[in-house]
Amino acid sequence: MKIAAVIPAYKVANKLRDVILSLPDNIDHIIVVDDKCPCHSGKEAEKLNNDKVIVLYHEHNRGVGGAVVTGYKKAVELDCDIAVKIDGDGQMDTAYINDLITPLIGNEADYTKGNRFMNFHALRAMPKIRLFGNSILSFLLKIASGYWNIIDPTNGYIAIHRRVLDKLNLDRLSKGYFFESDMLINLGIINAVVKDIDIPAKYGDEDSSLNIVKIALQFPSKLAKGFIKRLFFKYFIYDFNMASVYLLVGLPMFVFGVLLGLIEWLDSIINGTVKTAGTIMLVALPIIVSFQMLLQAVGIDINSIPRKDK
């Protein structure tokens, strides 16, 4: 199998050389995408005079997702079977690349990703604000993507097989830091099998261009949009099962119960009216029943995590 390493390069000129030199010999192509880097990271890669290294340049900064998509397209053009995305800042230990690609070669998975949360010592080295943010985002992304079994879904150390890369509309994927999350959501729609690989992260003196505040403001709405998109395609376009029924009946019923409850509550406060037991039951019953339906839908979603046939 032909294997490509895709390295998005932005402000990593002082780290990129070491990352490239550390790649294992079974990598056939090293695709470096200079994302309009102000410190000309791509030029550092060219200085290696390595026949495996291919440097691509963006005329405008497209974000990490845009750089990875450019790299994936080049890997497909080169007829590669597997593409491994690795950052150029040295945070990702290249010694684990073979661990990432082994399940893809053996058809045990379509997409593999690093899991930083299995190694206690490496976890302690993770900055606390990043650890807290990743924990919250991981839970929200599990809901949005449907990969309830993935422990570290925001991890960017990933490998993807050509069989699913061809099914994705790469141009529609998010171009910024939401790229890995958007990728998981879209993989969930096409029922790709995703597997966690225990890989500790390394944190050193690298400069991160990630803006925590910006991420906190942008991610929730994007996750909600991705969640709705996944539910629509998975349960109403590509399939229709009991989860679809529970969602169709449960969601309107839940909204009806909540809105009616708010109206009756405001009426009792403004007009001082005491609500009868029948009115209370009319509000409570739809909420209780619909909540049970939505829980059943969640259960079906958890049990429908894509898996390879035995």
Q: Which CATH number fits domain 3-234: 3.90.550.10, 3.40.50.620, 3.40.50.2300, 3.40.47.10?
A: 3.90.550.10
Q: What is the pLDDT of residue 195?
A: 94
Higher pLDDT pick, 20 / 127: 20
Contact 123, 48 (CB under 8 A): no
Q: Which two tokens stand for residue 156?
A: 């960017």
Q: Which two tokens stand for residue 106?
A: 């053996």
Amino acid present at 259: L
Q: How confident is the model at residue 151 (pLDDT cuts 50, 70, 90)?
A: confident
Residue-range domain boundaries for the chain? 3-234, 240-303
CA atoms within 13 A on the CB side of 36: 8
Over residues 256-264, mean pLDDT: 94
| Span of 79-83, 202-206, 294-298 with lowest mean pLDDT | 202-206
